Structure 1
Amino acid sequence: MKLHGTMSVKNNQLYIGNVSCSELREKYLTPLYVLDEELVRDNCKEFVKHFRVEEDENRVAYAGKAFLPMYMCNIINEEKMYLDVVSGGELYTAHKSNFPMEKILFHGSNKTMDEVEMGINLGVGRFVVDNFYELDLIEKICNRKNKKQKIYFRITPGIEAHTHNYIKTGQIDSKFGFTLENGDLDRAIKEVKKYNNIELVGIHAHIGSQIFDIDPYLDEVVIMMNLVKSIKEKHDIEIKEVDLGGGIGAYYTKEDNVKTIKEYCEAIINKSKEVCRKIGINLPILVIEPGRSIVANAGSTLYTVGAIKNIKGVRTYVSVDGGMTDNIRPSLYQAKYECSIASKMCDDKVNRVTIAGKCCESGDILISDVNIMDIETLDILVVPSTGAYSYSMASNYNKIPKPAVVSVSNGNSRLICKRQSYEELLELEMQLELTY
């Protein structure tokens, strides 16, 4: 198992943020999400530095869908970043954490009327408009409220990056954005010029997630900058901001060939400058939206081992007290993870086992056929790189409460999301007497 951030091994025990996993289980129970706050902040600083936020006024907008408790909003704000939200719930979370609304990009392919109105009322900086319905809705609400709203148009640039089919978004056959080839974008721009309450200031594209190759991003830069020039020539609108989305891959297993934040940022900036010089346009403000690459490796999940089932000559199942309810990615995307026993970090990996979750589903398998140390009931199993899309996609399937989240740093731990109780699990349910 690769150690990330502040992970260290002392006396055969795994520590994160200089806090032992044994101490964390004793204090907070399991399953437990553990956030390495120092690594989160270091990643934020790397993006801000190498994307030249201060020098060139570029922007790094954290993709909140990866992981967005209010505490994370506070970190993002302190680290001089913008925030990308995709729902009313994420926007409300940012609002309650006192995140600056003018630094929010509001995404979403089917924003409801209530969500659009909330965004306008709160004063979000940019709506990333996905379709004609949303465009018309924003204009009507702004007109009623006598407000003006800045927007980006989201486009599908026709780039198919090598990633899982479920997380491809840049190809033509996508539910997201205005398509270039069929003239939708031109029609949208003509429409927005008729409106009095909307100002088109930018364009946005996102080609997918968990992408390791930089070349698709460079292709995206070429398309987007030429589009900036085309919009100026055809519609006399200067696009001042170009949002290139996120999607840079994070390490999960040895199979992942991860680029550094520096490599990614410098390649984007250098290519943008080169293309703008070549086609003779001013360099717009550049925006990127990293999510997974900031929090994935900063998160780990701790489980307690329960039943161990050895089917001789077939397989050994090691069951833990969590599973697909706290990490759906293996079941949904066939995502792969590493793991270890937190109290046996230096032991030889002599056993081949399959880590199973506790849900009543045959598909609730966290890790298949992994080599691991001698494993016993009540051992602490640690699965690293669960910081992105684990807590945010957690569910109550099988009526299982959601785990707690703790932040660790410099030998201290802090509860940032409490464990859901059985009483809280039933909070939304009505206890009614049958009347028939």
Structure 2
Amino acid sequence: MKLIYEERDGILYFDGCDTVKLAKKYGTPLYVYSLTEIKNRIEELRKAFLDKYKNTRVAYAAKAFTSSAIFKLIDNEGLSLDVVSGGELYTAISVGFPAERIEFNGNNKLYEELVLAIEYGVGRIIVDGLEELDMIEEICQSYDKKIKVMYRITPGVNSDTHDYITTGKKDSKFGIPLDEEVFYPAVKNAIKSPFVEFYGLHFHVGSQLFDNESHLKALDILLSHIDEIRDRFAYEVKEINIGGGFGIKYTDEDRRPFEYFIDPSMKRINEHYSELNIERPNVVIEPGRSIVGEAGMTLYTIGSIKNIEGVRKYVSVDGGMTDNIRPALYQAKHNGMIANKMEMDRNDKVTVCGKCCESGDILIRDLDISKPEMGDILCVPSTGAYGYSMASNYNKNPIPAVVLAKDGEDSLIVRRQTYQDMLLNDIVPSWMD
């Protein structure tokens, strides 16, 4: 498999592109994605899941990185799409993504978002709350449509990850509780409804996971409730969605192969249905970060350097928490390197900070890098997930451009936001003149 990161004459190349030249051409901060790496990950998923097991789907979790170009790529690769907002849904439809391959997730879907989803005819709506079914039925009745729904359950399992990205425990804003007096009446209502087809169950236990235990525990719980649905209502679900959350390498983690998560789950599902002598339902997974996370990197230009003798050396860059909120939000860790000094020893220990007026705007603590100087280009790898997607205009900083690289060629896929762009929605009332 081709190396995505290479050193040539002391310069960092990414998917064949000179990163220093990219920084000069497009400016910094700059998000850069490797098309080769994204396709590598999709091919791994094909071999580990789609080609290995029949009646399976991969739905790319759009929240990891949303753009018109990435949605077009996901469509061209034949994957499905998991969206969580009207904006993500609109973006997908705008580039011709087939609505039947879209599933609509989210814990508080707005009425107008559900109208969009039903108008477009999305393949699934994954119901996350008890009131949601009523809204869906009302809209379907008015549009004379019937739509597939799945119920996202709260399996009540904990995952070994940061609390902010744990989603499967009982105390969670996500999912329908499995209390008997809550869950089964909700299932009965969906089965009896003339406006929806109750299609199956869904769970997502968390993100950035390196242990499959929580997936397997949640799966056992899900299968037991499918059995109970069969016994109570003589109804067979048609699809099981086991979410995503597969961890990637940010610093020194060892990324698990997709098979580590997929094979034990499929073994358990297949054995369960084989024992019952029933054809198993479709099985869906929802990877996002594990497709685009390591395929993306961010380039910055180093600015002021502050050395506090005996304490710390601060190296400031022209971005920060506005283009990568993860370190400030949940203490995420990253690596980094000076793209124009790859041949030099990394014998300087620095703390990389952003330009925002916040003490918490720290990107990387205690990073060993080559001696930094103003104007150097800093590369931060593995920022392909939840960088651009969570970018903001805090302190009125523009959102960076996004470039796609492949075999030494580069293409702009999201232009850099301008100061004028940021003022498009600002209005000064006439009485202020």
TM-score when normalising by structure 2:
0.97
User: Superposition pairs for residues 317-328 of structure 1, below 5 Å?
Assistant: 317-328=314-325
Q: Distance in 2 between matches of 1:306 and 1:435?
A: 39
- SS of 1:151's partner is strand
Kept in 2: contact 1:148–1:199 (CA 8 A): yes
What's 2:177 paired with? 179
Q: Distance in 1 between matches of 2:318 and 2:249?
A: 25
Q: Which of 206, 217, 220 is the equivalent residue of 1:219?
A: 217
Distance 1:4 1:181, change over 3 A: farther
Q: Distance in 1 between matches of 2:377 and 2:269?
A: 47
What's 1:401 paired with? 398
Q: Which of 148, 151, 175 is the equivalent residue of 2:149?
A: 151
Q: Which amino acid aligns with 2:96?
A: N
How far did residue 17 of structure 1 move?
1.3
Q: Distance in 2 between matches of 1:4 and 1:291?
A: 22
Kept in 2: contact 1:14–1:20 (CA 8 A): yes
How far did residue 225 of structure 1 move?
2.0
Q: Distance in 2 between matches of 1:130 and 1:248?
A: 22
**How many residues are aligned here?**
433
Q: Which amino acid aligns with 1:334?
A: Q
Q: Which of 386, 407, 417 is the equivalent residue of 1:420?
A: 417
Q: Distance in 1 between matches of 2:245 and 2:75?
A: 21
Task: Tell whether 2:189 aligns with 1:201.
Answer: no
Distance 1:396 1:307, change over 3 A: same
Kept in 2: contact 1:33–1:403 (CA 8 A): yes
Between 176-185 and 117-126, report the one with greater CA deviation.
176-185
Distance 1:5 1:33, change over 3 A: farther
How far did residue 435 of structure 1 move?
4.7
What's 2:109 paired with? 111
What's 2:368 paired with? 371
Q: Which amino acid aligns with 2:237?
A: I
Q: Which of 47, 56, 59 is the equivalent residue of 1:58?
A: 56
TM-score when normalising by structure 1:
0.96
Structure 1 gaps, min length 5: none
Q: Distance in 1 between matches of 2:141 and 2:52?
A: 35
Q: Which of 230, 236, 239 is the equivalent residue of 2:237?
A: 239
- SS of 1:127's partner is strand
Q: Which of 274, 291, 294 is the equivalent residue of 2:288?
A: 291
What's 1:306 paired with? 303
- SS of 1:184's partner is helix
Structure 2 gaps, min length 5: none
Kept in 2: contact 1:158–1:170 (CA 8 A): yes
Kept in 1: contact 2:168–2:204 (CA 8 A): yes
How far did residue 76 of structure 1 move?
0.7
Q: Distance in 2 between matches of 1:54 and 1:257?
A: 24
Q: Deviations over 1:229-250 (max 9, x none)?
A: 2111111221010000111111
Q: Distance in 1 between matches of 2:306 and 2:166?
A: 38
What's 2:227 paired with? 229
User: Superposition pairs for residues 41-190 of structure 1, below 5 Å?
Assistant: 41-53=39-51, 56-190=54-188
Kept in 1: contact 2:28–2:318 (CA 8 A): yes
What's 1:248 paired with? 246
- SS of 1:178's partner is coil
Distance 1:29 1:4, change over 3 A: farther
What's 1:274 paired with? 271
Kept in 2: contact 1:48–1:81 (CA 8 A): no
Q: Deviations over 1:223-277 (max 9, x none)?
A: 22222221111112210100001111111111x2321123322232222212333
Kept in 2: contact 1:127–1:150 (CA 8 A): yes
Kept in 2: contact 1:323–1:358 (CA 8 A): yes
Task: Tell whether 2:392 aligns with 1:390.
Answer: no
Q: Deviations over 1:329-375 (max 9, x none)?
A: 00001000000000111321111110000000000000011111111
Q: Distance in 2 between matches of 1:202 and 1:327?
A: 36
How far did residue 281 of structure 1 move?
3.8
Q: Distance in 2 between matches of 1:160 and 1:54?
A: 29
Q: Which amino acid aligns with 2:232?
A: K
Percent identity between matched residues is 46
Q: Distance in 2 between matches of 1:64 and 1:186?
A: 30
Q: Distance in 2 between matches of 1:355 and 1:275?
A: 51
Q: Which of 348, 353, 372 is the equivalent residue of 1:351?
A: 348
Q: Which of 15, 20, 36 is the equivalent residue of 2:34?
A: 36
Task: Tell whether 2:221 aligns with 1:210.
Answer: no
Kept in 1: contact 2:123–2:148 (CA 8 A): yes
Between 269-278 and 396-405, report the one with greater CA deviation.
269-278
How far did residue 206 of structure 1 move?
0.5
Q: CA RMSD in A?
A: 1.5
Q: Distance in 2 between matches of 1:165 and 1:260?
A: 24
